[in-house]
Amino acid sequence: MEKSTFIALLPAIPLFSFLVLALFGNKLSRKATGFIGAGSIGIVALLTLIIATEFFHSLPQIKTYTVVVWEWINAGNLKVNISFSLDSLSLVFCFVITFVGFLIHLYSIAFMAKDEGIKRFFAYMNLFVASMLILVLADNILLLYLGWEGVGLCSYLLIGFWYKEPANGYAARKAFIITRIGDTAMIIGIFILFITFGTVNIHELMQLASAKWASGSSIAVITAALLLCGALGKSAQLPLQTWLPDAMAGPSPVSALIHAATMVTAGVYLIARTNMLFSLAPVVQFAIAIIGALTLLIAGFSALAQHDLKRILAYSTISQIGYMFLALGVGAWSAAIFHFMIHAFFKALLFLGAGVVILVLDEEHDIFKMGGLRKKMPVVFWTFLIGSASLSALPLITAGFYSKDQILWFAYSSESGSLWLWIAGIVGAFLTALYSFRMIFIVFFGESKTLPSFNAGKLMTVPLVILAVLSLIGGFVELPESFGNFHPFSKLIENVLPVVLIKDIGNLEILFQLLSAVIALTGVYLAYIIYFKKPSLSASFNHSHLNRFFEKGWGFDKLYDTLIVVPVVWLSEIDKNDFFDWMNIGLSKLALLLNSLFSITQNGKLRWYLMSFVIGIAFILTFMLYK
């Protein structure tokens, strides 16, 4: 068998197990369900490894594997295949999806053990993995769109997994609809691409675009902007970020997999994938950087004000993806991907950890009702600490430091970078450290307020530990020049994505690194002061309006409510019964009116009839003679 056909198996296996679970789910035991659900992902992870090995073996020569599975659409000049292609970019994503995914699946077996919907859960999860793999492996943009929507669907299904609570359903729909808004813009962008170039193959499209479109031409800008809209929706960036915090209504493994590690970074993938297009539209690319910067700040502040453990993580996710966008915006492609990978490790870890906390505290989400958990669940504490440290980019030991620093550096140093972007990044980094350790101190230190009802099993802690290790050492695949100058990751990525262009500003990287390390540490220390040493400092802030403003996500929800939701609902209410119906009612009224009118003449009186006779003949004769 050709090695490349393995690629098709990647999405096929989880899809198959999804089918099995969906069709025969009720005949399977809970154990078998978990086995199939997690096992299939395990196999895929293994397969990814095999493919990766193969890939690395032939590295210098072959950059892309492609496999055509079947002809999908053939209409007019639109010819689309179900076909996958694998390059290093996809490979990184596949790796994250399958490995992190596998760990999360493993974790889920324990996490969902008592939930009656476990079969549904695993079915959806598997479907998600399949869709996500399709997304990253698709060799044409329509197939990518298929995966794109597929993950959206799974996200919807899993957010609303506990369907009995109407709020969950609301959150799920919100997520779907908001991302759908972005997707619609994106599909229009796809239309433009197809209409202009007559193909939907991403590779060809990019070639043709760079050949035919002038840089900065309006069509390129429009197309790039439209695709960006899709990415913004999916990756929960400004102004479409509001769905993600609500999406935490789903089970924690879902948050970990979909709303932290993989799906939300699809936007990053899309932009990276179509990077040439964005290079042709520098305005849009710069807008990405700005959006990223703004988002990371806004989300950072919001995270600081949250009470709900998972919402903190959610805002943190938004913020971190903001970093990735910032990186994309300044053309630091591989930095973005690097941060994506590291982020996947530590954010999955954090979510899983949070999941354990919440689970053992009987669905307690409020961090202020937790506390002192350090002793009671040491494994969770340590892994959570590692995750938070990585998130805060504590220097040297954490992977997050390497990835984030790279972004910060490029935010300033790349050709389109600027000081302002760097300042935003560094403020964000400070905020990150602050809220991360706010979490740690409030949840794990201090006096305990709620007692855990049981201890988490091995199946849950092992993935935590693995992820914690990855969060620590993951960063060593890419070391800055000032510190080891080891770049296998960016070399890998640069097979596909362009190299970041650096302004000629001399070797200041070490300075920036030091600065950010200090900032991160300051953040941690400040958190220690405010939230542990002198909680009164934070308490006063907790009730301020500003805090509430931050907590409500800067009022975006409210704004959208008044601007969009209220008018739409109003519109649908005022004309519920379809005012066109009045046309019919009017006509039938008219007919009935005429009927009653004419009916008067049919009153049975002979002389009336005679009168109508005579009037009729009078009219006829007068008309005929004197018209």
Q: Which stretch binds another protein (CB under 8 A): 29-37, 48-56, 88-96, 173-181?
A: 173-181
Nearer to another protein, 56 or 619 (CB): 619
Write down the least CB distance from residue 569 to another protein, Å: 9
The size of the interface with another protein (CB under 8 A), counted in residues, is: 87
Phi first, then psi: give them for residue 339, nearest 5 degrees.
Answer: -65, -35
Residue 214 interacts with another protein (CB under 8 A): yes or no: no
| 211 near another protein (CB under 8 A) | no
Instruction: Rule CB under 8 A: say whether 70 interacts with another protein.
Output: yes
- Taking every pair of Cα atoms in the chain, the longest distance, rounded to a whole number of angstroms, is 117
The reply to whether 571 sits near another protein by the rule CB under 8 A is yes
Query: Among residues 437, 250, 263, 282, which one has the least CA distance to residue 350?
Result: 437
Q: Choose the binding region for another protein from 103-111, 164-172, 475-483, 517-525 (rule: CB under 8 A).
A: 164-172
Stretch that binds another protein, among 31-39, 93-101, 296-304, 609-617 (CB under 8 A): 609-617
CA-wise closest residue to 334 among 502, 100, 492, 486: 492
Buried b (16+ CB within 10 A) or exposed e, 445-467: bbeeebebeeebeebbbebbbbb
Cβ atoms within 10 Å, residue 61: 6
Which of positions 461-520 make contact with another protein (CB under 8 A)? none
The one among 27, 164, 543, 545 contacting another protein by CB under 8 A: 164
Q: Which of residues 310-349 bind another protein (CB under 8 A)?
A: none
Burial string for 509-536 (b: 16+ CB within 10 Å, else e) reads beebbebbbebbbebbebbbebbbeeee
Is residue 33 within 8 Å of residue 21, measured between CB atoms? Answer: yes
Per-position x/- string for 98-137, each x denoting binding to another protein as judged by CB under 8 A, each - no binding: ----------------------x-----------------
Q: According to the binding rule CB under 8 A, does residue 290 interact with another protein? A: no
Contact between 607 and another protein per CB under 8 A: yes
What length is written for the chain? 627
| Interaction residues for another protein, span 572-591 (CB under 8 A) | 572-573, 575-576, 578, 580-581, 583-584, 591
Q: Does 27 bind another protein (CB under 8 A)?
A: no
Cβ–Cβ under 8 Å, residues 495 and 88: yes
Least distance (Å) between residue 152 CB and another protein: 8
The runs of H, that is alpha helices, within 160-217 are 166-197, 202-212
Q: Kindly indicate which of the ranges 310-318, 507-515, 552-560, 566-574 contains the residues binding another protein, using the contact rule CB under 8 A.
A: 566-574
Q: How is residue 450 annotated by DSSP?
A: S
Closest listed residue to residue 394, CA positions, set 432, 444, 422: 432
Using CB under 8 A, pick the residue from 76, 114, 214, 485 that binds another protein: 76
Q: From residue 602, give the alpha-carbon distance in Å to each of 589, 598, 607, 612.
A: 20, 7, 11, 10
CB of 82 to another protein, least distance (A): 7
- At residue 402, what is the residue type? Y
Q: Which whole-number Å values give the CA distances from 521 to 267, 411, 433, 444, 513, in the listed order?
A: 30, 21, 7, 19, 12
In the complex, the smallest distance separating the C-beta of residue 266 from another protein, rounded to whole angstroms, is: 14
**What binding mask, one character per residue, do residues 175-204 give for another protein by CB under 8 A, x or -?**
-xx--xx-xx--xx--xx-xx---------
C-alpha 108: how far from chain center = 20
Q: Which is nearer to another protein, 21 or 297 (CB)?
A: 21
Name which of 423, 420, 306 is nearest 365 in CA terms. Answer: 306
Quick one: which H or E segment has residue 67? strand 65-75
**Could you tell me which stretch among 29-37, 64-72, 352-360, 466-474 binds another protein (CB under 8 A)?**
64-72
Does 30 engage in binding with another protein (CB under 8 A)?
no
Contact pick of 163, 368, 420, 476 for another protein (by CB under 8 A): 163
* Half-sphere exposure in the Cβ direction for 260 (13 Å, CA): 34
* Binding status of residue 8 toward another protein by CB under 8 A: no
Residue 142 binds another protein (CB under 8 A): yes
Residues 404-463 that bind another protein (CB under 8 A): none
Per-residue x/- mask for another protein, residues 521 to 560, rule CB under 8 A? ----------------------------------------
Residue 156 interacts with another protein (CB under 8 A)? yes
Stretch that binds another protein, among 138-146, 252-260, 279-287, 404-412 (CB under 8 A): 138-146
Report the nearest approach of another protein to the CB of residue 523 (Å): 40
Which C-beta is closer to another protein: that of 160 or that of 425? Answer: 160
Binder to another protein among 149, 204, 364, 561 (CB under 8 A)?
Answer: 149
Whole-number Å distance between alpha carbons of 546 and 397: 35
Nearest to 83 by CA among 96, 72, 98: 72
Angle at 345 between CA 333 and CA 438, to 5 degrees: 105
